[in-house]
Structure 1
Amino acid sequence: MSETTPPATPDFREPSEIGSVKELEAVYDISVTVSAVLGKATMQVSQLLKLGRGAVVELDRRLGEAIDIYVNNRLIARGEVVMVDNTRLGVTMTEIVKSERSQ
């Protein structure tokens, strides 16, 4: 019988546990999509088609409640909307969401 090598499993250690920053350099240039979701709403298509300029869609969040921050469609944090300058908004992370995968 020949021995087989088990498939490699991803390393889910914290960056401080990995040993050297050099090991992470391979992933520095990978692009990811970051999304900040203010809230969500569910409606029927007929209601959606009736929306026009100036219509208000009520979201499932309250004023001042944290927004969800996603990276590549995975929830990673919650945060608050901040004003970057007079024309742009940004997000400040206030809470990191622990991934169920790392258990």
Structure 2
Amino acid sequence: MADQDEEMALPDLANAEELPAAAENAQVEEGDDEAVRSAHDLEAVFDVPVNVSAVLGKTHIEVSNLLKLGRGTIVELDRKIGEAIDIYVNDRLVARGEVVVVDDRLGVTMTEIVKGGVT
């Protein structure tokens, strides 16, 4: 039986082409039988939609003030510059991360996985 503390190498999710190859190489030990898992085993979840949100911060604003906002208006949030942002998957907190710029586009890099995510 495999040691539970042993770390398992995860595929680089930034490059989706690596996922099937990594999944084909994953092995699971069950008693004396050794089952090999493949990307084919994951086909059932490939089309499952998920909602991913990166929350930069929050604020409270009255509707009357919201209607007065215009282009260039600054809205103060409850977080400071450089503070970690929250990453939610299907309204469940799963990670914290940082905002990054890649080729003139905004992105998020995960810096911490949250165990027992909060809803």
User: What is residue 3 of structure 1 aligned with on the other side?
Assistant: none
Following the alignment from structure 1 to structure 2, what is the Cα–Cα distance between the partners of residues 93 and 100?
A: 14
1:30 aligns with 2:48: yes
Q: CA deviation at 1:24?
A: 4.2
| TM, length-normalised to structure 1 | 0.69
Greater strand share, structure number? 2
| TM, length-normalised to structure 2 | 0.61
1:53 to 68, 71, 77: 71
Number of aligned residues: 84
2:87 to 69, 81, 89: 69
Contact 2:100 2:108 in 1 (8 A): yes
- Residue identity (%): 69
1:99 aligns with 2:116: yes
Following the alignment from structure 1 to structure 2, what is the Cα–Cα distance between the partners of residues 21 and 42?
A: 48
Letter aligned with residue 58 of structure 1: E
Any idea what SS the aligned residue of 1:98 has?
Answer: coil
2:107 to 71, 84, 90: 90
Q: Deviations over 1:16-62 (max 9, x none)?
A: 6xx36455443233121111111111111121122112111001110
Any idea what SS the aligned residue of 1:59 has?
Answer: coil
User: What is residue 15 of structure 2 aligned with on the other side?
Assistant: none
Following the alignment from structure 2 to structure 1, what is the Cα–Cα distance between the partners of residues 44 and 67?
A: 46
Any idea what SS the aligned residue of 1:61 has?
Answer: coil
Contact 2:93 2:117 in 1 (8 A): no
Across the aligned residues of Structure 1 and Structure 2, the Cα RMSD in angstroms comes to 2.2
Unaligned runs of 5+ in 2: 1-7, 9-27, 29-35
Letter aligned with residue 116 of structure 2: S
Following the alignment from structure 1 to structure 2, what is the Cα–Cα distance between the partners of residues 80 and 97?
A: 14
Q: CA deviation at 1:75?
A: 1.0
